[in-house]
Structure 1
Amino acid sequence: MALRAAAACRLPRIGQPSALLRWPLPPPLSLLSMDNTRNASAAPASSKHRIPRARRDVVPRPALLAPVLEQAADARLVLVQAPAGFGKTTLLVQLAAALATAASGAQVVWVSLDAEDNDANRLFAALFGALAPLDLPWAVPPATVLAQLQDASPAARTALGLLTDALGVRPESRIALVLDDLHHVTDAAALQLLDTLIARAPPELCLLIGSRTAPPLSLARWRAGGELVELGLEDLRFDLGAAQALCRLRGLQAPSDAALQAALARTHGWVAGLHLLLGSARAGTGSLPALAGPAAHRHLFDYFAQEVLAGLPPPLQQFVLYGSVLPELSPALCQAVTGRDDARAVLDDLFGRQLFLSALDDTVPVLRFHDLFRDFLRGELERREPGHAAALHALAAAAETRAERAVPHWLAAGRWAEALAALRQMADGLLAVGGTHRLERWLDQLPLAWREAQADAALLRGLCAWSRWDWGLARDEFQRSHDAYAQQGRPRDRYVALGMLGACHNALGELDRAEAVLADAADAPLPPALQVAFDSLQAWHGVARGDGAAVLTGLAAMADNAARAPEARYPNIVDMSYGHFTGLPGTRPLMERLGRLCRADQPGGEVQVPALHAWLAFWHGEPGTAREALHELLQRQRQLPGDTMLGIGALHLHSLHLAAQGHTAEALAAIAQVPALMTPGFSRGWRRTYAHVQARLHWRAGDADGLAALLPDLSRPRSAREWPVLDTGAPLLQGQHALLCGELAAARAHLERAALLQAGARLPAFMGDARCALALCRAAQGEPEAAAAALDDLLCEAVQDDGLGSLLLEPPARLQALWQALAPRLRCPAAAQARLRGRLAAWLAEGPRAAVADAAPPDDPLSAREREVMALLAEGQSNKLIARALGLSLHTVKRHVANILTKLALDSRTQAAAYWHRR
């Protein structure tokens, strides 16, 4: 049942099924790899974000650019679509330069896409990497947002709101985002999310896309709305003037107009074809090669590409052929695959020869072959040296400094062991930002028979299964990896797998096996970062068995080891279901310490720390502080709806707040939403836990019928896979129901049994406490001393722990009457009782006002500018008046209004005005 059997994972992962990778999700990289020197983050290489350098023979096209720049001021999207070799990238470079130097001074960010970007998470990782230099004011860390973007789910689309808000907070600055070579992205989810981004883009953002094919986006809608600028094949074709300019820029004697017209007719204005023809022109004559005979029956590009290659000296031919296995040509990688020490000079020479190359970095240099030319070179390499490409890929992989760039090379080389080692090394970085699909895609490229025998592959598959809440599959994979590591004499890796295995056992309710894991690791000399996992497992094992001492021991050890191992901290050490720990005697200082450690690592960027703060504030704080903390938590939950545990925790705590304020119906409605968030991987015991929360709400409201409806499920014997602590819950519920029905003898029997069980198997505090109900029952039977003993125990614990939560969740009128009647008999100091009463009264006095505040959406999905537009719209002002009042163009106001309706899921301006007034 324990969803959080340990707490040592690395960074956040949000989306399906959880918002943050928690232990027992992937441990820190230091746990996964003995060598961190080639750590791979999920961020793409920086060369993807460099605007390619314009070549000296680029033909300026002012007549083409001018109308595009004018229309781009109000466009959502500028689409440049044409087949390969028509100069899409070149035109985008010119557009980017013009936008950056225009009066608006747009900030241009560039993303060069490739086949590795063909999933939603990877596409947006590349996009976020390009935006990073802009230092946008994110409401939550970008990595947290990225981890939700794995599919086109509603949660992922909601997460995009954080991106659009960050982009739109500076209305005085415009951002031009270029996505080049989008044709490499065919994944439906990735394109749906991109479509959502464009649809919701603030007016400050204009996207420019280059693609060989028409992307499946909402082009027709944007075209009809005048928000799409399109440049196609006909726009990009070279005419006679452009061809003549190209000759001049290349220093060639201009052929006759008739010859150029013939070349244009033969190539249909294809820019790459013209470059090839001019490159094949005989020096000094200005004549173009004849296109007759064999050439007429061969693909033009292949024919002339062969001519280009044949025109190079043999050493350079080998250099470009070997370099074709590289996605980018850098001196270090070229030296690795060619064996040449002068790779830098050769790259400069190649670029000067005006081959089909783009310069991504002027200083290193870093070049990239045109896709068509690289494809030709790879085919030619295989023709000349069959099978040699695999050896070249291996050389490139060995020279790569980034594991994520090395993996495709190792796979292409057929070097499975090295590929798996690189995957093991980079798994933490990928899983931290939602790269599960990418990791699994690479794992699937390993031969099945070979992969099944590898312990590391089993470990990685287990981590991927855990990230989908598939605990059964994860347990089996971790067991396989653990057994293999043990046989291979790899103790450190064995303990990594063992910690994950223990987490699975705990999550599945297999507590005997979880205890065996703890015993196995008890005397092992583990480093602090790895020990944290077993400390957390001990704490969760204590919760499962109701062993408060084990909970405290585990939390204390976890805090000590986390303090010594910063890599095991945020969000590792407190990223769990906080309600299970909060309110148990002695946990408060430990949980606060864990929270401080997290904040020290992530100042201002915490995602899950607000959940810990909100729980502690409810259990120990004043109502105003607790309400503010809850609002912050609910805001995070609305921003990150793909975070399953964040959503469950927020709804759970919200229901307790509402109940404490006397709004039982609203509280029950909130907690009733929790089962819908639970994926099929959640165990039956986990669901019963939240049914006990419902029972406590009915108990507080004195609702015997509500308790009766839950009795059949909650009083049945637990299964072998449910936590033993649930045994305490059944008699507690039975006794409370009997007490509300006036059946005092039956109630006392059940409640005394529950109190006895509670002494040895303490329920999580939110599920219930037998002592108040037992005191009420004994008092009703005329035994005030016995009643005072039960109540006194509860009050003394509240004073010692400075906790009010248990008292807030008891029937207020009954508790106050009992408290007043028994006051002379209580051992708890009168002053302490008075303080508790005062704090309790403050909560009850806050009820109606606070409940209304809690029930309303705690955050606003609109940006600051959209709120300004919304306020004027709600006053009934037209778009023209809004534009005049805010100094915006009419088109920009229309886009703002459309975005407002989209974000709020409204159909009309009237509905928007009503929404605004309700707030």
Structure 2
Amino acid sequence: MLTVLQTRLIAPSLPRDFTPRERLRDSLRAALNAPVCLVCAPAGCGKTTGLADYAQENAALTAWLSLEESDNDPARFWRYTLAALERVLPGFSLDTPLTLPEMGMTVLTSGLDALCNRLLEAPPGFTLILDDLQRISNPHLLQALAYLAEHQPAHFHLALSTRVAPALPLARWRARGALSEIRVKDLNFLPDEAREFFSRGASSAVDETILRRALELSRGWAAGLRLIDFALREQSGSLSALTRGRKLAADYLTSEILQNLPPNWLDFLSAAAIDEQFTAEMAWYVSGQASENALLESILEAGLFVQTQGESWQLHPFLREALLQQLPPVEIQHMHQRAAAWYENHSQPEKAIAHALNGEEWPSAGRLILRQAGMLFERGEMGVLERWLDAFPADILSQNADLLVLRAWLQYLQGKNLDAQQTASAIESLTTDLQPQRPDWWGGLRCQLALLQEQNQAALSYANSALASASSETFIRGMLLSSRANALQALGRSEEASASYQEAISANRGAGSLLSSLFSLAGLGIELNEQGQRLRALDLCQQTLEDNQARSNHPLFGLVHLLMARLHWEANALEEMRLALETAESLLSQLGVSGFLISADLIRVQWLIACEDYGEALQRVQTNRRKTRSEAFTGFRQIFDLLRAEIALKMGERRAVDAWLEEANLPPTPADDPAREMEFIFKARCLIERGEWGDASALLEDLLFNAQNSHHIRASIAVLLLKASLLWQKGEIGRVNNCLEEALALAAPQQYVRLLLDFGAPLAGLLAQMPSAPQAIRALFGQPEETQAPTLVEMLTRRELDVLRLLAENHTNSEIAAALVLSNETVKVHLKHIFQKLGVQNRRQAVWQARQMRLI
């Protein structure tokens, strides 16, 4: 398992010759009373030592985290930050995640809010110290720190130690009085402090001349004074030691100091220098020497910039650099390889991988990475995996199919679909002997990419084959189960899809994979809706939210709210739909994943169409059509093309509808691609509108047969309504009622009102008078209870009734547009629909007919 290295959560031990400086202590105490304290100075100025002194003095109120380059991964950064807080505040934890474990690349605002709220429980004066902040360059993390600093409780303090000014809003914090700063001038030694330092370090006999000259050379720089002190101890306080010290300070502990070390010291320290933190056991192993406690004690006594934290050791960075500079590259490479072997044998795979990469031991690095990949994916630490893969030379990586599969998975999960497809093509082009050796990961990737391209039969084959050989890794197995269900759904194999979704949900929940389990739940809800079980799907959503109240703010639950918005749309419950959609958009926007955002926009377009806001709907459709084409979302692109055609039909733009019919590239029959069922239904509707009744009739029969075989009740309702409309136009009045009664029998129990509105509009008046029509349907179509309309008339929408009332008041088109906040073109479209539905030719006739029918 990936664990937290506890030594990073402990302030470094103070040097043996540590010189307390009350001036610096007072400055730090005062500075740490501000919301944010920035300790910014070059290396060697004593930032860490000063803060470590404060931390030891205030141990019960101070949490410490020493940062590393690997902490640029958001999941890792917050995992260690929470561990640092929990070390001082036992039981400290969050119910809301700070990162998305399954995706890993985003810092969540909801998690930061939860952190700020949790910190309200910390005792007054509590401080979190982040040391070596210069190692953090991830802009998402820096933005998150800025957010934390601006929303943290008043009694909480954040201390940031760094070599360079971070990309944070320092100017704004200064203007607000929220920032205190400790800079080089605060950290530099004053003459009295330097005198005290030398009296504890080299010798109390250091004369004033040497002291004054040392201050001139070092200008109070802590590391410079320490290097000079080292030289003075070597040369008994002579003036020549200043030259030695100056050289050491200028060269940042170059090899000149190392030349004075015993060979066994040098071997040990050189072996230790390949790691920022090490244990004596590791250094002995890498150096090839037998362990010797006396040597360790001698090194510590010599003050060679070695710090200890329990069993962990750490060399001063300048000492590490100097040690490594004096070694041949081949020897450094060999030591990294030995370190990789040691860490692997001691169950520290991440350390082993880092050293294997530095030692260019590519086969070992690849083997270890493949072993850790599933766990990293599940924990969301994909940034770590990405950096590991980037460390490989291009020619080496291009010949390792299994590592390329991991790279393609990373690209796919980050929404880089084209990159993932290109990587998959590179894998397929490899020779037979270089093909992937892990069929579950490779098959799972091919399944995902096939689903993106609407190659559903191929996706199912890949999923089934991969599951047959799948390992016990929960990540890949959960993804495969979800993908198989998606493929079955797209192929119209409804019952199998439902069963597969149930299996996927159970398996993913058991493995703790939230992403896959919610994906599977959303897929099951969609399938239930297609099967005419809208209310059951809605109950499934509501039960899921109730069961997960503690983490309901997790952004992935936006998928559940998105499904609920779609189900409310089916019932034409537009206000409930709006609320669910806004919640979904708020949650999913935190992730920044293209597929999620496109899904939310798709539902938003359907809501806009239901509200008859065709202009805004069309604008969103056009934006998403461009996006889905550029990002290779084939399925999404087809849906948005269809929505554009539907809007065009409602707006009376026949040319655009005809263009869709020519460009849709539908297969010969609906059975050839069940996933495009709704496109075929829209095609039948267009054929009816164009008077091509023979082709429309044949297509509707095929659609009804397929819908009944696949138990797609929604599609059956739509087809029956279109069939009734076709029969009405053909004059076969006797068969119309049968179709309408059958459609109502399917639609009414589950409240599929939207289908009645969209596909039953040509026969709305007749629908409202059907004996089997429930009161809710009758009222929706303007039919009062226990009464009949004076004539069969198509239903007027709410907006059309608004237009009609203003028309009766003799308002012009421009005045109507201004009153209803519509464009003149939209008003003309509404008037056209009103004239058609009332069977009139002009405005005067429309008003007279409406009054006769008691519509106004």
TM-score band, normalised by the shorter chain?
0.7 to 0.9
| 1:497 alignment partner in structure 2 | 442
Give the direction of change, closer, same or farther, for the CA distance of 1:298–1:280 in structure 2 (3 Å limit).
closer
Whether 1:452 aligns to 2:411 is no
Please give the per-residue CA displacement for 1:558-579, whole angstroms capped at 9, x wherever unaligned. Answer: 356557xx22742213326647
| 1:267 alignment partner in structure 2 | 218
Whether 1:233 aligns to 2:180 is no
| 1:690 alignment partner in structure 2 | 640
Cα distance in 2 for residues equivalent to 1:840 and 1:129: 61
Cα distance in 2 for residues equivalent to 1:713 and 1:175: 64
Any idea what SS the aligned residue of 1:608 has? helix
User: Contact 1:177/1:207 (CA < 8 Å) preserved in 2?
Assistant: yes
| 1:57 alignment partner in structure 2 | 17
Q: CA deviation at 1:482?
A: 7.5
Cα distance in 1 for residues equivalent to 2:328 and 2:163: 26
Any idea what SS the aligned residue of 1:406 has? helix
Amino acid corresponding to residue 230 of structure 1 in structure 2:
E
User: Contact 1:114/1:184 (CA < 8 Å) preserved in 2?
Assistant: yes
Give the direction of change, closer, same or farther, for the CA distance of 1:352–1:292 in structure 2 (3 Å limit).
closer
User: Contact 1:89/1:210 (CA < 8 Å) preserved in 2?
Assistant: yes
Count of residues in Structure 1 that have an aligned counterpart in Structure 2: 770
2:270 to 283, 308, 321: 321
User: Contact 1:482/1:498 (CA < 8 Å) preserved in 2?
Assistant: no
Cα distance in 1 for residues equivalent to 2:217 and 2:253: 14
User: Contact 1:333/1:399 (CA < 8 Å) preserved in 2?
Assistant: no
Q: CA deviation at 1:582?
A: 4.9
Q: CA deviation at 1:633?
A: 2.4
Q: CA deviation at 1:419?
A: 0.9
Any idea what SS the aligned residue of 1:326 has? coil
Cα distance in 2 for residues equivalent to 1:809 and 1:608: 32
How do residues 376-525 of structure 1 correspond to structure 2 at under 5 angstroms?
376-382=322-328, 388-399=334-345, 401-432=347-378, 435-475=381-421, 477-478=423-424, 487=433, 493-511=438-456, 513-517=458-462, 520=465
Please give the per-residue CA displacement for 1:595-642, whole angstroms capped at 9, x wherever unaligned. Answer: 98999899636543452365257538996876765454233134x151
Cα distance in 2 for residues equivalent to 1:816 and 1:753: 25
2:673 to 724, 748, 751: 724
How do residues 724-803 of structure 1 correspond to structure 2 at under 5 angstroms?
724-725=673-674, 728-737=677-686, 751=700, 754-755=703-704, 758-759=707-708, 769-779=718-728, 783=732, 786-798=735-747, 802=750
User: Contact 2:564/2:580 (CA < 8 Å) preserved in 1?
Assistant: no
Whether 1:822 aligns to 2:776 is no
Please give the per-residue CA displacement for 1:42-62, whole angstroms capped at 9, x wherever unaligned. Answer: xx6443333223345332233
Cα distance in 2 for residues equivalent to 1:488 and 1:166: 48
| 1:357 alignment partner in structure 2 | 306
Any idea what SS the aligned residue of 2:517 has? coil
In structure 1, stretches of 5+ residues that fail to align are 1-38, 102-106, 151-155, 825-829, 842-846, 849-919
Whether 1:81 aligns to 2:40 is yes
Any idea what SS the aligned residue of 1:687 has? helix
| 1:619 alignment partner in structure 2 | 567
Give the direction of change, closer, same or farther, for the CA distance of 1:395–1:556 in structure 2 (3 Å limit).
closer
Q: CA deviation at 1:765?
A: 5.6
| 2:64 alignment partner in structure 1 | 110
Amino acid corresponding to residue 52 of structure 2 in structure 1:
V
| 2:514 alignment partner in structure 1 | 570
User: Contact 1:736/1:747 (CA < 8 Å) preserved in 2?
Assistant: yes
Amino acid corresponding to residue 443 of structure 2 in structure 1:
L
How do residues 95-174 of structure 1 correspond to structure 2 at under 5 angstroms?
95-96=54-55, 108-117=62-71, 127=81, 130=84, 140-144=96-100, 147=103, 149=105, 159-160=108-109, 162-164=111-113, 166-167=115-116, 170-171=119-120, 173=122
Any idea what SS the aligned residue of 2:240 has? coil
Amino acid corresponding to residue 575 of structure 1 in structure 2:
F
Give the direction of change, closer, same or farther, for the CA distance of 1:211–1:406 in structure 2 (3 Å limit).
same
Give the direction of change, closer, same or farther, for the CA distance of 1:819–1:50 in structure 2 (3 Å limit).
farther
Amino acid corresponding to residue 26 of structure 2 in structure 1:
A
Give the direction of change, closer, same or farther, for the CA distance of 1:98–1:653 in structure 2 (3 Å limit).
farther
Amino acid corresponding to residue 560 of structure 2 in structure 1:
L
Give the direction of change, closer, same or farther, for the CA distance of 1:53–1:632 in structure 2 (3 Å limit).
farther
Cα distance in 1 for residues equivalent to 2:26 and 2:781: 70
Cα distance in 2 for residues equivalent to 1:394 and 1:380: 21
Cα distance in 1 for residues equivalent to 2:736 and 2:294: 91
Cα distance in 1 for residues equivalent to 2:629 and 2:57: 50
For structure 1, which segment, 777-786 or 518-527, has the greater mean C-alpha deviation from structure 2 after superposition? 518-527
Give the direction of change, closer, same or farther, for the CA distance of 1:838–1:677 in structure 2 (3 Å limit).
farther
User: Contact 1:569/1:598 (CA < 8 Å) preserved in 2?
Assistant: no
Give the direction of change, closer, same or farther, for the CA distance of 1:376–1:468 in structure 2 (3 Å limit).
same
Any idea what SS the aligned residue of 1:498 has? helix
Cα distance in 2 for residues equivalent to 1:764 and 1:386: 69
Give the direction of change, closer, same or farther, for the CA distance of 1:836–1:820 in structure 2 (3 Å limit).
closer
User: Contact 1:728/1:757 (CA < 8 Å) preserved in 2?
Assistant: no
Please give the per-residue CA displacement for 1:806-848, whole angstroms capped at 9, x wherever unaligned. Answer: 5476368767644343336xxxxx8xx568879999xxxxx99
Give the direction of change, closer, same or farther, for the CA distance of 1:582–1:340 in structure 2 (3 Å limit).
farther
User: Contact 1:124/1:149 (CA < 8 Å) preserved in 2?
Assistant: no
Q: CA deviation at 1:767?
A: 13
2:133 to 182, 186, 191: 182
Give the direction of change, closer, same or farther, for the CA distance of 1:805–1:539 in structure 2 (3 Å limit).
farther
Please give the per-residue CA displacement for 1:379-399, whole angstroms capped at 9, x wherever unaligned. Answer: 244499676534443344434
Q: CA deviation at 1:176?
A: 3.5
| 1:4 alignment partner in structure 2 | none
For structure 1, which segment, 533-542 or 515-524, has the greater mean C-alpha deviation from structure 2 after superposition? 515-524
User: Contact 1:80/1:210 (CA < 8 Å) preserved in 2?
Assistant: yes
| 1:810 alignment partner in structure 2 | 758
For structure 1, which segment, 782-791 or 368-377, has the greater mean C-alpha deviation from structure 2 after superposition? 782-791
| 2:843 alignment partner in structure 1 | none
Cα distance in 1 for residues equivalent to 2:163 and 2:683: 69
Cα distance in 2 for residues equivalent to 1:434 and 1:552: 28
Q: CA deviation at 1:462?
A: 1.6
Please give the per-residue CA displacement for 1:638-672, whole angstroms capped at 9, x wherever unaligned. Answer: 4x151333333334345545666777777667766
Please give the per-residue CA displacement for 1:143-171, whole angstroms capped at 9, x wherever unaligned. Answer: 31895646xxxxx6xx4464256325655
Task: Tell me how large the CA RMSD over aligned residues is.
Answer: 5.0
Cα distance in 2 for residues equivalent to 1:489 and 1:378: 39
User: Contact 1:532/1:568 (CA < 8 Å) preserved in 2?
Assistant: no
Structure 1 length as normaliser, TM-score?
A: 0.70
User: Contact 2:72/2:136 (CA < 8 Å) preserved in 1?
Assistant: yes
Please give the per-residue CA displacement for 1:257-315, whole angstroms capped at 9, x wherever unaligned. Answer: 333223222322222232233344459xx951432797388444669776875776654
Q: Point out which structure has higher relative CO (alpha carbons under 8 A, 6+ apart).
A: 1
Q: Percent identity?
A: 21
Give the direction of change, closer, same or farther, for the CA distance of 1:815–1:334 in structure 2 (3 Å limit).
farther
User: Contact 1:160/1:197 (CA < 8 Å) preserved in 2?
Assistant: no
Q: CA deviation at 1:202?
A: 6.5
Please give the per-residue CA displacement for 1:854-873, whole angstroms capped at 9, x wherever unaligned. Answer: xxxxxxxxxxxxxxxxxxxx
Q: CA deviation at 1:729?
A: 3.8
Amino acid corresponding to residue 510 of structure 1 in structure 2:
Q
User: Contact 1:120/1:191 (CA < 8 Å) preserved in 2?
Assistant: no
Give the direction of change, closer, same or farther, for the CA distance of 1:749–1:548 in structure 2 (3 Å limit).
same
| 1:652 alignment partner in structure 2 | 602
Give the direction of change, closer, same or farther, for the CA distance of 1:343–1:543 in structure 2 (3 Å limit).
farther
User: Contact 2:645/2:660 (CA < 8 Å) preserved in 1?
Assistant: no
Structure 2 length as normaliser, TM-score?
A: 0.74
Any idea what SS the aligned residue of 1:322 has? helix
For structure 1, which segment, 165-174 or 372-381, has the greater mean C-alpha deviation from structure 2 after superposition? 165-174
Cα distance in 1 for residues equivalent to 2:716 and 2:215: 79
Give the direction of change, closer, same or farther, for the CA distance of 1:682–1:98 in structure 2 (3 Å limit).
farther
